[in-house]
Structure 1
Amino acid sequence: MQFIGPDLKGASPMNPTYIEQLFVKYAKINTRSDPARSATPTTPGQTELAQLIATDLKTLGMSDVQLNPANGYVTARLPSNTARKVSAIGFIAHLDTADFNAENIQPIVHPNYDGQDIRLPGATISVAQFPIFKTLKGQRLITSDGTTLLGVDDKAGIAEIMGAMQYLLAHPEIQHGDVAIGFGPDEEIGKGAKQFDAEQFHTAFAYTLDNGRPGDIEFETFNAAQATITIDGTAVHPGNAYHTLVNAIGIAQQLLNHFPENDVPEQSQNHEGFFLINQISGTVAHAEIDVIIRDFDDAKFEQRKQWLIETIATMNQQLDQPRIQYTLHDQYHNIGTAIATIPEIRELPLKVYRDMGLTPNIVPFRGGTDGNFITQKGIPTPNLFNGGGNYHGPYEFITVEEMVTAAEVVARMIIAHGA
């Protein structure tokens, strides 16, 4: 593949000023999502950002720019300029930010960061606490003022994708296939991508740019399920309780004692799954337990669910009547199975990373992304990286250099896919 512009072994041909200005502009908009609301998007700031992005995409010269009022996605296309028959490729990021203060975000740019502690108006970023900052010395660092998050997750991804589009539009002599981009709402609360219009997006596969350090790539996610367990007791006056009172809390405790002691998030890593007792509440008369189940392996995931079903059934048989009820539903599925059907999905970014001198860091994503729901809709979608770190809090950061690297990855992948 060949870029127009500076030698890629040195400076990137991306426009760092454009990418930085986009990110700072977008970061200032409060797009915190709200799980308590049923609207799409759940908060008006996400619509405000989507409208601004749509305007910027039109100004940039992108084609078929649309803001879908039904699902909150803003989408656009970069039409193919090659005679080769190449399947379309997509890139996706999300509009919303996590459940942390996002009111009056004030991005602060630290040019030529000196690698030392950063004293912000609302917090101090200690290099001793966050050693990663030592590796950022000399870069153009961006933080919040320490009273809010910054919004790197995932406004950095948006700016990076648009930076790649800006480069390719500025160089029409570089051949590429059809590209679709999309920016959607409510990723942080797991709602937005459930309404993603895969047919309208129309790509063979896609990539999200959602968190991760340069070189990270995630071809796998958890399989995820949630169980809501209810327990009905019999409440009577404790003075008359003999052989009559049945304590729902006591039954809940017995059930919890059946769960494997070390099969929990705090004792698991890499490809290991777990059960998490996420919430418990109750009285003598009634108790509720919320359990989440995670595993990468499909067979082990099914075994975990079956173990819970059988454990509840066994306990009910030992009670005077079936007092334990449950609902169990899958939340999302590991994207790895679908990705394995199209080898190029893995080969394309790995080749680009190596060409750029990035060491690929293939890691299982111990959670889920919009890619889970989009993959289930027929577009296999692994996750790349957007740079930055300390997501979801006042210590979030990104550097312009890392955003430029991510934008270059996107551009190179588009060009390589069309070659």
Structure 2
Amino acid sequence: MTFEPTLDFARQLDAQDPLHEFRQQFHIPPGPNGQECLYFCGNSLGLQPRTARAAAEQQFTNWQNLAVEGHFRGDSPWMNFHESLAGPSARIVGAKPVEVVVMNNLTTNLHLLLVSFYQPTATRYKVLMEGGAFPSDQYALETQVKLHGRQPDDAIVELTPRPGEHTLRTEDILAKIEELGESLATVIMGGINYYTGQVYDMAAITRAGHAVGAKVGFDLAHAAGNIPLHLHDWDVDFACWCTYKYLNSGPGGVAGAFVHERYADQPELLRLAGWWGYDETERFKMRKGFRPMRGAAGWQLSNGAILTMAVHQAALALHDAAGGMEALRRKSELLTGYLEFLITRLGLSKSQLEIITPADPAQRGCQLSLLVHQNGRDLFEHLMAVGVIGDWREPNVIRLAPVPLYNTFEDVYRVGEVLAEWASRQQPVQA
């Protein structure tokens, strides 16, 4: 599509957008002028669905009227509530319902999965991850390695971009996997890098990892609800994700986990067990000796957090109503492309501002990361002051994420206006 830098063009795109009305399903926070803010921070916390409060309130009512009997009675008995989330979650990540479970929080799930899928031996003990991964992933891997008596500096191998580049090349990732070979126990990477917004080729990484005998998993915090995923078809061993970013399920909301179907009937696979992961047909007999549920549900520890699950259920329903990830992706590519068009036409040199997110739409999701070499913090504070909500990542990156469920092309145009006004006041860099 040929973009135009005009308000009329943006409004024309909105008028043609089949998802435009979904914006009305969300609460848009007010800006400093009393009007709706320009919210471009769904990569950090998604907006509140208008259905969320009623979904939680229904469970408060059930608790009020049924008390403990709410586990077995009412419109949505708590005993099996998590099962209602498996199908919609599986559609988000490209899995079978038996491969998905909603439980805990993201890093808790990552630890639980690493217990099963990082089992080092004397010769196969290396872990491969991206350098500068989100701190929770770094800390999880450091401590998992130490649990096995290894030193992180020896066991953990970090991938970094080539000198002068901001993102990893797929060929370099695959070459490192081949180089590590039989020493590699587990590959664990983000599906999308939180800092740069780069989408990794998860299918290729999985194939390469399996070719050398390693297990392969992904932290999908920035990928779930952002890009189409095909975890089952890609043959991924395990994955986990949060639900409060692109899945709009509330701050600190319940998280998800994926375990490939080939492990569904392997009760002997080492895991940390809990009562709720026990075979539900025998669970209330309270017997010793753990017998896991089939599939990902066998990694559960405790009964579900119903209030947060209810909000998540309401949010997932909006994704289904919008036509699923393929429909969202079509709009996302246009929104992000339009934002990129408006930024590149600012006329700033790379020594002033550059987009470090890949230009290829196949290698990015909603997010664009702006590396601001001069007065970056001033720009971020200016954006916030005029009602453009993004986020700042040290040392000098502003992340902006136009989300297809609730952002409009006019939103993107308005952000472009703010950036153009700022750019007009910047002094050219002297050679």
Instruction: Work out whether the TM-score is over 0.5.
Output: no
TM-score by length of 1: 0.26
TM-score by length of 2: 0.25
- Give the structure with the larger helix fraction: 2
Q: Mark the structure with the bigger radius of gyration.
A: 1
